[in-house]
Each structure stands twice: as structure tokens, then as C-alpha cells.
Homo-oligomer: A and B are copies of this chain.
Amino acid sequence: MSVTYLEAIRAAQEKALTDDPRVFIYGQDVGAFGGAFKATKNLAAEFPGRVMDAPLSEDAIVGLAVGAAIEGARPIVEMQFADFSTVGFNQIVNQAATLYYRTEIPCPIVVRLPSGGTLGAGPFHSQSMEAVYAHYPGLVVMTPATVEDAYSMMLEAVAIDDPVIFCEHKLLYYHLKADKLPDTAQPVGKARIARAGRDATVVTYSAMLHESLQAAEDLVEDGWQIEVIDLRTVKPLDTDTILASVARTGRLLVVGEAWPWGGVNAEVISRVATEGFGLLDAAPMRLNARDTPVPYHPDLWAAHRPTASVIAARLRQLLTQ
């Protein structure tokens, strides 16, 4: 028996619906159909009236969730693709994200964003919007990279009283598997050392964790021990864990799939440069996607985002600097 990343998200939502009568799910095709990716498969039948198909209205979907949250409900809303959250953007960043600061009423909503590139998905079904949301005060931005985190962080996302942007990576949905769902979990907000090392630190998250782990593995034959940190949440960003790692390794590469200007990578490097300047033995490096829309053609796409081999090459540069 094994469980996929997607099944973990489904299972967590099922558990949340079971455990807490305040939870409901609202989104396009999430009902009988079970969602575009089947993240809500069978839930409508299991929880009648609590898993509902929404009209094609992202703004209203998020708005409804905020109103329901005010009244004490704990809605989970699904965007069919992260890219479509741009049309629900205002309700997320100005309505949900400001509610607590303005009124002291918390806003416990979860906005699920099926994120990131996949083969042939093109400019509008591939985006990684975590940096856009993390820039705004008032949001928690989760970017689980493992099956275990997909499960436990979704439970936590529903449990906490604040709006959570839950960035699930579509590339991990079906292929990433674990033996079973976890019973315990690391606290949300703490990064995880996914692989311990000595010579350099790679800070990454979401699908890029797996490319980075592969790169770290590739460097073993050259005698390098690379530490890989999985951020897990990009807001809050666990600066302490990063700094502690850089203190050990002296070298930092940050890897992300989003666009280069001002993303997670810039924030991580900026924190290390400002708060851990003396820890660095060499200039930090970063790898992002290129600064264009995500291309459709598989060859362009492969050249648009970092891959294990590019990461490995960059690490070699970093290590010999």
C-alpha cells in the first residue's frame, strides 16, 4: 500500500471534514466530479452538502469563503489551477489578508493552489504564485514538497485561524509516493533538513526539493556532501534553520521554480546576507525559472526551469569558488 501526494491532500481534507463540522469545501467541479485533479474524489458523497461545485467565479468563491469564515466556518476553496487565482486575487490579498489586522476577527480559510509546471501545460496552467502571496501581510503560504507534508500541512492549514495559501505542486500529484500517511508532523513554520551535508546548503521547496536532492546525490561521487533544506512554508520563512545550516557549510544556493525577480530565492538570500553575512565563505547563488511566461513546448519548458543537472552544475561552481 502506498499513498500519493494527491491522495494525501484528499485524505487530509477528508479528515478535516470528518473531525470538524465547520469545515466545508467550495470550488469548481469539486463536488460529484471530485475536482479537476480528483483531490476531492468521493468527498461530496461522503459529506453531503459540504463539498459543493461553485460557479466559474474565483472572486466570489474566495469572497464567500471569507464571509463564511467570519461566521465561524472553516472553508477550503480549490482554485482549478493556481494561475486562475489572479481573478480571485483581490479577495485574497485585500479581503482575507486584512481581516484580522483590521477587525481582530481571524480568517481561517484555505485556498488550494495547484501550482507549478508540468509537461505541455503552458503559460496559464504552470504558474508558481507563492512569492506574490508571500509579499502580502496577513497570509500564511505553505509549499509542501512531500507526501507527509501535503497531508499534515493541509490538516494544519485548516486548523490554524489564518488564511493559508496552500501551494500544492501538480508535478508531485501522482508520482510522489509514501508508504503511509504520517501520524506526527513537524510544526508548520519550521524548515526541514531533508538531507544533511557539510559542504554547501541548498535551500529549496516544493518540486524543486526533488531536483535538488537528486543534484546532491549526483555530487556524492565527487566527494561533496550537500545539505538540502526544504522550506515547507515560504511565509513564515524559517530563517533560523537556514542560518544554522549556512553556519555549518559556509555556502548557499537557493533553488526555486518561480520567476527570478523578488521571489523566495531573493528573500532567502537577502535574509542570509543581512543576518548571516559573516557565515558565508563565498557569494551565495540562486537558481530560478527564466523571466518569461512558462513555455508550452517540452524542450523550452525543460530549459525554462532549474533541473537536477543544472543545480548540480551550479553547485560545482559554488563549491569551487
Partner-B contacts on A (CB < 8 A): 59, 83, 86-87, 89-90, 93-94, 97-98, 101-102, 123-124, 131-132, 134-138, 235, 237, 258-259, 261-267, 269-270, 272-275, 277-278, 280, 282-286, 290-293
Cβ-defined partner of A283 (8 Å) among B94, B235, B258, B274 = B274
**Residue ID in chain B nearest A58 by CB atoms:** B90
A101 contacts which chain B residues (CB < 8 A)? 123, 292-293
A116 to chain B minimum Cβ distance, whole angstroms, is: 16
- Tell me the complex Cα distance, A263–B137, Å: 12
CA–CA, A134 and B273, complex, Å = 22
Output the least CB separation between A177 and chain B (Å).
32
Would A269 and B261 be within 8 Å (CB), given that A89-B90, A93-B86 are in contact? no
Partner of A278, one of B89, B94, B123, B283: B283
**CB neighbours of A265 from chain B (8 A):** 270
- Given the complex, which residues of B lie within 8 Å of A264, measured CB to CB? 262
- The answer, among B59, B137, B270, for a CB contact under 8 Å with A270, is B270
Contact B273 A282 (CB under 8 A): no
With both chains docked as a complex, state the minimum distance between the C-beta of A212 and any C-beta of chain B, in angstroms: 17
Could you name 17 residue pairs across A and B whose Cβ atoms are closer than 8 Å?
A: A86-B90, A87-B90, A89-B89, A97-B293, A98-B293, A101-B292, A102-B123, A135-B259, A136-B259, A137-B291, A137-B293, A235-B261, A262-B263, A267-B270, A269-B269, A269-B274, A274-B283
Neighbouring B residues of A131 by C-beta, 8 Å: 135, 262
Q: Which residues of B contact A134 (CB under 8 A)?
A: 261-262
Check B93–A292 contact: CB distance below 8 A: no
Chain A: interface secondary structure? helix
Q: Which residues of B contact A262 (CB under 8 A)?
A: 131, 134-135, 262-264, 266-267
In the bound complex, how far is the Cα of B262 from the Cα of A134, in angstroms?
A: 8
Contacts of A266 on B, CB cut-off 8 Å? 262, 266-267, 269-270
Q: Kindly report how many copies of this chain are found in the complex they form together.
A: 2
| Contact between B277 and A284, CB atoms less than 8 A apart | yes
Q: Assess the A273–B269 pair: CB atoms within 8 A.
A: yes
Compute how far the CA of A251 lies from the CA of B136 in the bound complex, rounded to whole angstroms: 28
Q: Which residues does chain B contribute within 8 Å of A86, judged by CB atoms? A: 89-90, 93-94
Which residue of chain B lies nearest to A97 when distances are taken between CB atoms in the complex? B293
State in angstroms the CA–CA spacing of A123 and B138 once bound together.
12
CB contacts (< 8 Å) of A138 on chain B: these are 292-293
Q: Which residues of B contact A272 (CB under 8 A)?
A: 273
- List chain B residues, Cβ under 8 A from A102: 123, 293
Residue of B nearest to A282 (CB): B277
Q: Which residue of B lies closest to A59 (CB)?
A: B87
Smallest CB separation, A97 vs chain B (Å): 8
Whether the Cβ atoms of A135 and B283 lie closer than 8 Å is no
Shortest CB–CB separation between residue A139 and chain B, in angstroms? 10
Tell me the bound Cα distance from A259 to B97 in angstroms.
13
Give, as a whole number of angstroms, the nearest-CB distance from A269 to chain B.
4
